[in-house]
Chains A and B, each alone.
Chain A
Amino acid sequence: MPAISFQSVSKTYPVAHGGALRALDGVSFDIEEGEFFGLLGPNGAGKTTLISVLAGLVRPTAGRVAVRGFDVQSQYVQARRQLGVVPQELVFDPFFNVRETLRLQSGYFGVAHNDDWIDELLASLGLADKADSNMRQLSGGMKRRVLVAQALVHKPPVIVLDEPTAGVDVELRQTLWQFIARLNRQGHTVLLTTHYLEEAEALCSRIAMLKAGQVVALERTSELLRAASSNVLRFKVDGELPPQFAAKARVTGRVVQLPAADAHAIERYLAGVREAGLRVEDVEIRKADLEDVFLDVMSKHGPQAVTA
């Protein structure tokens, strides 16, 4: 039985002036027990809507979602006990301190006398000295840690993290991933959405990519990387790229990265740039990473392709 099963899930929101926004359009895939699964996609692709449907915060217009066999609508009590969700928004209840927050969350799930596990969570997430601090006094990073602890307080077998590292420092990211990876090794299933593709590449064994509410890629991470163009030419340039290259390039400030299947492609790029009168520095050739794959998949599925 899969840990999470999405079956033809669609969600349509009515919008002003009588139109409708299709946030999810027939999404189907399964996540197996014990997987570390990545859900990627640009902003507005439907990642958070899909997680909200899974968590019971949003009702799908069509389709079915099950967590370890329990339907998230008709068997929501059992389904939600299996799930620990870290929401994307940095929200907190200002009336309580960290320990109270965790005890309350534990009680909602029917878990009494949970202080041993709460202490372990606090220690693992570097919150032990903040247990008696009011939520209002915590920094953004600390509040994010409490959100993670709240999601794990009832020891859910399935953990869902919706962009947990958005805007947090390197130290927390390290702490968080070590802890989540440990839970994954212990058998917990993890579903992660993130914009940091190097995190997804390092952690996730399988990845689904969403665009405009549809699944446009669903593969093992290693397969995705293998299928991508094998090399990337990276260099710095002091002017604007010729238009025939600009369409294919990943540009970050002066740094240009171009997919290059072989030595011919590399020669062609460099010659083209030189002919355009540009000066090239710091040339290097590297292996394609998940970000290259992501951009490739997204560009192949243009808006016209996915709305058809």
Chain B
Amino acid sequence: MTGWRTLFYKEVLRFWKVSFQTVAAPVLTAVLYMLIFGHVLQDHVKVYDKISYTAFLVPGLVMMSVLQNSFANSSSSLIQSKIMGSLVFVLLTPLSHWSWFVAYVASSVARGLAVGAGVFAVTALFGRPGIVAPLWIFAFALLGAAMLGALGIIAGLWAEKFDQMAAFQNFVIMPMTFLSGVFYSIHSLPSFWQDVSHLNPFFYMIDGFRYGFFGVSDVSPWLSLAIVGVAFVAVSAVAVHLLRIGYKIRS
């Protein structure tokens, strides 16, 4: 294994060696959400006809976990190795900025999908959603994880302290995932907040992902795919540019 594949392998090994924390813990968190929200809201919320609230909740929780963990992978690896100084071992190598980008994004996708598969396996025990269009499920999981992996590169390069990274996670990533329709359909919101939700690319990831399970969604999956695709390209362009100029890593 050589070049970017080595960096990818190293990044996968890094999270896999602490998989209790990086994979098992997020699965447990999702189960807690399922227990609390599923139990409390099961008889009060009906989003789509013929679909129980717990079944509705499963794809939302899966996608939320995919997105948060993909972001956490690239961002935490970069900030840790920057602060500990071990990033120098990669900085000294002939790996190009494209190699960095592909390796960090692909390893983030690997962790996002591993956590997503775990969350699905466990939460589906509570409310089993159907699988109407697996290709849509796969496409949105992959694209969503890749976009958050790229966003994690930007945050990891930008942040100089763990404090700044926590701010990015708590004030950007968390609100965008929670306000994207994980726990509800945006049609249940007042129209102003529906309009706000339409500005959030995370909403399209979750809506398109959910379409793959139920065959129904708030907006067309093609529109969601286009928006998520454009968002991924835009975020990736910024991440590649920052890697190319060595933003905050090569002075």
Question: Which of B5, B86, B246, B251 is in CB contact (< 8 Å) with A93?
Answer: B86
Q: Which residues of A contact B17 (CB under 8 A)?
A: 95
Digitize B1-17: 1 where CB-to-A-CB distance is under 8 Å, 0 elsewhere: 11101110110011001
> Are the C-beta atoms of A59 and B250 separated by less than 8 Å?
yes
> Are the C-beta atoms of B250 and A94 separated by less than 8 Å?
no
> Are the C-beta atoms of B6 and A107 separated by less than 8 Å?
yes
> Are the C-beta atoms of B85 and A89 separated by less than 8 Å?
yes
> Are the C-beta atoms of B92 and A111 separated by less than 8 Å?
no
Q: Which residues of B contact A77 (CB under 8 A)?
A: 94, 96
Digitize B224-236: 1 where CB-to-A-CB distance is under 8 Å, 0 elsewhere: 0000000000000
Interface residues of A in 212-235 (CB under 8 A from B): none
How long is the Cα–Cα vector from A88 to B84 in the complex, in angstroms? 14
Q: Which residues of B contact A105 (CB under 8 A)?
A: 89, 93
Q: Which residues of A contact B251 (CB under 8 A)?
A: 13, 57-59
> Are the C-beta atoms of B84 and A91 separated by less than 8 Å?
yes
Question: Which of A76, A85, A91, A104 is in CB contact (< 8 Å) with B6?
Answer: A104
| Chain B interface residue bracket vs A | 20 to 34
How long is the Cα–Cα vector from A308 to B202 in the complex, in angstroms? 59
- Contacts A57-B250, A85-B92 given; does A111 touch B2 at CB 8 Å: yes
CB distance from A83 to the nearest CB of B (A): 8
A160: nearest chain-B partner, CB-CB: B92
Question: Which of B13, B86, B93 is in CB contact (< 8 Å) with A80?
Answer: B93
> Are the C-beta atoms of A112 and B88 separated by less than 8 Å?
no
How long is the Cα–Cα vector from A38 to B66 in the complex, in angstroms? 52
> Are the C-beta atoms of B85 and A56 separated by less than 8 Å?
no
> Are the C-beta atoms of B6 and A93 separated by less than 8 Å?
no
Q: Which residues of B contact A112 (CB under 8 A)?
A: 1-2
Is A46 engaged at the interface, CB distance under 8 Å to the other chain? no
CB distance from B134 to the nearest CB of A (A): 34
Is A301 engaged at the interface, CB distance under 8 Å to the other chain? no
Q: Which residues of B contact A55 (CB under 8 A)?
A: 91-92
How long is the Cα–Cα vector from A80 to B90 in the complex, in angstroms? 11
Given contacts A77-B96, A85-B92, list 6 more A-B pairs with CB under 8 A: A77-B94, A81-B94, A91-B86, A107-B3, A109-B93, A112-B2
Closest A-B pairs by Cβ, 3 of them? A107-B6, A91-B85, A108-B93
Interface residues of A (CB under 8 A from B): 13, 55-59, 76-78, 80-81, 83, 85, 87, 89, 91-96, 100, 104-105, 107-112, 150
